[in-house]
């Protein structure tokens, strides 16, 4: 009868095949973690285990690094690290889309504010003929928002 051992990652009971030799790795059915059960760990000459913290020997790790990307024994799925990397790229692209939409929204808001200030400036320019100081206030109303909009545009570009 095969023995069961808890997975070191998720604590799910994992079956160890009958007749398993020391150093045999076992795959957890729920999290796909590959580990060597404690009772199957090999001892080196000094009496210490030649396995790393995660249950893999350094020789096995070197051979695996030379062999290329790791796949499950049944051929299903890719390396977990690749999936995490791909998931990270997807979230980056989503954040870039949000940033682009936010920037375009700010652009449209800036254009509409600019048009409003131009219209107010034109109104004040027409009043200048009636009020002599209206030209100076018109200049302030048009130029100051332009400077602020240019500054905000530069600030958002470097963000």
Quick check: 156 pLDDT over 80? no
Which of 4-18, 88-102, 144-158 is predicted least confidently? 88-102
Q: Alpha-carbon distance 21 to 14, whole Å?
A: 16
| pTM of model > 0.75 | no
Tokens found for residue 6: 């808890």
Between 152 and 84, the higher pLDDT residue: 152
Give the model's pLDDT for residue 68: 46
> Half-sphere exposure of residue 41, counting CA atoms within 13 Å on the CB side?
18
Mean pLDDT (whole number) for 9-38? 86
Q: Alpha-carbon distance 44 to 50, whole Å?
A: 6
- CB atoms inside a 10 Å sphere around CB 25: 16
Quick check: 139 pLDDT over 60? yes
Q: Where are the alpha helices (DSSP H) in the chain?
A: 58-67, 80-128, 134-157
Contact between 29 and 14 (Cβ < 8 Å): yes
Between 25 and 128, the higher pLDDT residue: 25
pLDDT in tens, 36-63: 888 887 765 444 444 555 555 555 555 5
Tokens found for residue 139: 């200049």
Q: Alpha-carbon distance 144 to 154, whole Å?
A: 16
Q: Alpha-carbon distance 95 to 155, whole Å?
A: 18
Give the model's pLDDT for residue 66: 47
Q: Alpha-carbon distance 159 to 154, whole Å?
A: 9
């Amino acid at each position: 009868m095969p023995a069961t051992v808890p997975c070191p990652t998720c604590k799910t009971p994992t079956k160890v095949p009958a007749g398993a030799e020391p150093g045999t790795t076992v795959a957890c059915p729920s999290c796909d973690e590959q580990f060597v059960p404690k009772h199957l760990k090999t001892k080196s000459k000094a009496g210490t285990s030649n396995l790393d913290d995660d249950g893999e020997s350094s020789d096995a790790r070197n051979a695996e690094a030379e062999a290329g990307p790791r796949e499950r024994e049944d051929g299903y799925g890719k390396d977990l690290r690749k999936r995490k990397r791909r998931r990270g790229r997807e979230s980056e692209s989503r954040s870039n889309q949000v940033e682009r939409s936010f920037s375009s929204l700010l652009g449209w808001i800036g254009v509409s504010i600019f048009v409003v200030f131009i219209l107010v400036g034109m109104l004040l320019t027409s009043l200048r003929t009636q009020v002599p100081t209206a030209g100076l206030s018109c200049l302030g109303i048009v130029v100051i928002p332009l400077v602020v909009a240019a500054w905000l545009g530069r600030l958002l570009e470097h963000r």
